[in-house]
């Protein structure tokens, strides 16, 4: 099964581009869910949500709509005293409603391959217990058979990424190491990847069809080896991620003909 969506749905600059101009903020998610059946939430990286908030996500979306949630920064960036129990408690309504597709553990570029960091991947697995977890690396030094073997051993998915071809960043490699295959499209804005005033500028990019073509077969290959394949576009500025997913959906459907 392949599910496609965007990284986030709550953007002011989507009003008038993705959302109708007169729509209320509390209707953004239901409106989004009329077209897509999954979303990746970034808000959980900045704060552990309260169960009332998470209940609202469940209530405002139809049965079958699923969420991927980014692990809180204390679990991936700070790492000194990770409270996995508290994070799991916050997202419990998603788990109980069977609406959790995956937890995304996105590590910073400074998380380099080392014995200590490989040991921390064991801690990630233990902390999240039986929840589906995918790991996103930012440092290309992690691309090795040793890494893929460790992820397979721990039943952790590998996050495949499309991003600028800059030294040290991850290549556009498609691998399945766990029950969930995962792809994130960050855009290819090389000029503003490191040099930007606002975070959104890094993801200000519109994909062309020829840039996505190679990924169609890669996504199909991931689907053959995973129980669930999740594809999210993170080039969210002014709804460009929505256009990316719509184009991918069209290209994948055309391949089925």
Give per-residue pLDDT as tens, 174-192.
999 999 999 999 999 888 8
Contacts of 84 (CB under 8 A, 6+ apart): 75, 127, 128
Taking the C-alpha atoms of residue 247 and residue 6, their distance in angstroms, rounded to an integer, is 13
Number of helices (H) and strands (E), helices first, in the chain?
A: 11, 8
**Tens place of pLDDT for every residue, the chain, 257 residues?**
999 999 999 999 999 999 999 999 999 999 999 999 999 999 999 999 999 999 999 999 999 999 999 999 999 999 999 999 999 999 999 999 999 999 999 999 999 999 999 999 999 999 999 999 999 999 999 999 999 999 999 999 999 999 999 898 999 999 999 999 999 999 998 888 888 888 878 889 999 999 999 999 999 999 999 999 999 999 999 999 999 999 999 999 986 65
3-state secondary structure 27-77: HHHHHHCCCCCEEEECHHHHCCCCHHHHHHHHHCCCCCCEEEEECCHHHHH
**Burial of 218 by CB count in 10 Å (0-12 exposed, 13-18 middle, 19+ buried)?**
middle
Contacts of 20 (CB under 8 A, 6+ apart): 31
91 within 8 A of 49, measured Cβ to Cβ? yes
pLDDT value of residue 158: 98
pLDDT value of residue 202: 84
101 within 8 A of 91, measured Cβ to Cβ? no
pLDDT value of residue 190: 85
- Please report where in the chains the tokens 């709509």 appear, as a residue: 65
CATH number 3.20.20.410 is the correct assignment for the domain at 2-256: yes
How far apart, in Å, do the first and last CA atoms of the chain sit?
17
Taking the C-alpha atoms of residue 155 and residue 148, their distance in angstroms, rounded to an integer, is 10
Give per-residue pLDDT as tens, 209-241.
999 999 999 999 999 999 999 999 999 999 999
């Amino acid at each position: 099964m392949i599910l496609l969506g965007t990284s986030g749905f709550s953007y002011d600059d989507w009003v008038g581009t993705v959302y109708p101009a007169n729509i209320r903020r509390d209707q953004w998610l239901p409106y989004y869910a009329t077209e897509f059946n999954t979303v990746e939430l970034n808000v959980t990286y900045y704060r552990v949500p309260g169960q009332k908030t998470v209940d609202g996500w469940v209530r405002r979306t139809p049965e079958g709509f699923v969420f991927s949630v980014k692990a809180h920064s204390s679990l991936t960036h700070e790492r000194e005293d990770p409270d996995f129990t508290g994070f799991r408690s916050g997202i419990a309504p998603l788990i109980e409603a069977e609406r959790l597709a995956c937890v995304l553990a996105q590590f910073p570029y400074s998380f380099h391959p080392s014995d200590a960091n490989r040991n921390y991947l064991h801690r990630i697995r233990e902390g999240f217990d039986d929840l589906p977890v995918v790991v996103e690396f930012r440092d290309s030094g992690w691309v090795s058979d040793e890494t893929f073997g460790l992820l397979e051993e721990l039943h952790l998915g590998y996050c495949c990424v499309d991003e600028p071809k800059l030294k040290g960043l991850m290549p556009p490699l498609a691998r399945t190491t766990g029950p969930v295959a995962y792809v994130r499209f960050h855009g290819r804005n090389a000029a503003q990847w490191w040099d930007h005033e606002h975070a959104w500028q890094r993801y200000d990019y519109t994909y062309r069809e020829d840039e996505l073509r190679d990924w169609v077969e890669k996504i199909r290959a991931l689907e053959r080896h995973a129980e669930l394949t999740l594809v999210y576009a993170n080039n969210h500025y002014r709804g460009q991620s929505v256009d990316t997913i719509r184009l991918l959906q069209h290209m994948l459907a055309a391949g089925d003909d």
